[in-house]
């Protein structure tokens, strides 16, 4: 209990931000679904300027956890087709970068400073950071890990920014390509948002990606723990 009280006392802003990032996508996605339901032609035949503004807004929405990344991919695929896919990647990168900068500004290293009072946790965290590229990739490849929340956590951990951005984009590619393809094949935006129609292949893909992410993260954590212990960190 002492640990929890001190954790909340010294990291209140960080923890509150994480809670908000976990819940906001439901609000934002519902609002967007309602907007598109009543304005289905809103993004039909966009101009170049409208396209640029769209990807900027999408990037900001994902950065601030106002939209699920899967929803953003489906909508972009439906309205822009494959020519819009590079813009989607730019929006992903923008969202990841903005989220990283905001989290770093809010936390100011307070969480890591707090963890230094707990040598075992601090040692494991430092070892996990040594595998930052793999860590980010495995977190991004799973369709069930919240994009903005994971961005915040990784920024608080102070993982290498370049590794973070590259692994974020690469890790998001497998599921993004699949859901983008579903968006390009859809005939009606309302039906697409209600049921993307992933089919058996899509469900298998999602399950495989979740399994790869889970066991990959478990392996990274176990290896980090072993390295920490080998450097003289006592067992709990």
Model confidence pLDDT, tens digit, residues 57-74: 888 888 887 888 888 898
CA–CA dist 236, 222 (Å, integer) = 14
DSSP-assigned letters across all residues of 34-69: HHHHH-TTTTSS--HHHHHHHHHHHHHHHHTT-S-H
Average pLDDT over residues 13-39: 57
CA geometry: angle at 172 spanning 166 and 175, to 5°? 160
What angle (nearest 5°) sits at the alpha carbon of residue 164, between those of residues 231 and 171?
105
Average pLDDT estimate for 175-187: 88
Nearest to 101 by CA among 149, 156, 170: 156
Block residue for tokens 């979740």: 210
- Maximum average pLDDT range among 75-79, 87-91, 128-132, 229-233: 87-91
Residue 123, pLDDT score = 78
- Please indicate whether residue 44 or residue 136 has the higher confidence score (pLDDT): 136
Who has greater pLDDT, 21 or 102?
Answer: 102
| pLDDT value of residue 132 | 86
**pTM strictly above 0.95:** no
Domain ranges of the chain: 1-194, 198-235
Q: Is the pLDDT of residue 122 over 80?
A: no
**pLDDT in the model for residue 232:** 67
For residue 44, which phi and psi values (nearest 5 degrees)?
Answer: -70, 130
């Amino acid at each position: 209990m002492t640990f929890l009280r001190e954790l909340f006392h010294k990291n209140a802003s960080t923890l509150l931000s994480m809670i908000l990032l976990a819940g906001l996508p439901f609000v934002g996605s519902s609002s967007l679904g309602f907007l598109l339901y009543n304005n289905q032609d809103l993004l039909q035949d966009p101009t170049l300027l409208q396209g640029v503004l769209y990807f900027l807004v999408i990037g900001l929405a994902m950065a601030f956890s106002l939209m699920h990344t899967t929803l953003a991919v489906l909508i972009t695929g439906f309205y822009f087709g494959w020519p819009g896919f590079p813009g989607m990647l730019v929006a992903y990168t923008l969202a990841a970068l903005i989220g990283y900068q905001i989290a770093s500004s809010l936390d100011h290293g307070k969480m890591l400073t707090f963890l230094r009072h707990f040598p075992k946790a601090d040692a494991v965290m430092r070892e996990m950071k040594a595998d930052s590229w793999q860590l980010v990739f495995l977190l991004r490849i799973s369709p069930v890990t919240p994009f903005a929340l994971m961005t915040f956590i990784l920024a608080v951990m102070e993982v290498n920014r370049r590794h973070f951005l590259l692994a974020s984009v690469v890790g998001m590619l497998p599921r993004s390509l699949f859901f983008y393809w579903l968006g390009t094949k859809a005939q009606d935006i309302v039906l697409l948002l209600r049921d993307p129609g992933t089919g058996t292949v899509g469900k298998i893909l999602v399950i495989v990606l979740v399994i790869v992410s889970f066991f990959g993260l478990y392996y990274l954590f176990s290896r980090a723990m072993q390295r920490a212990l080998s450097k003289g960190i006592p067992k709990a």
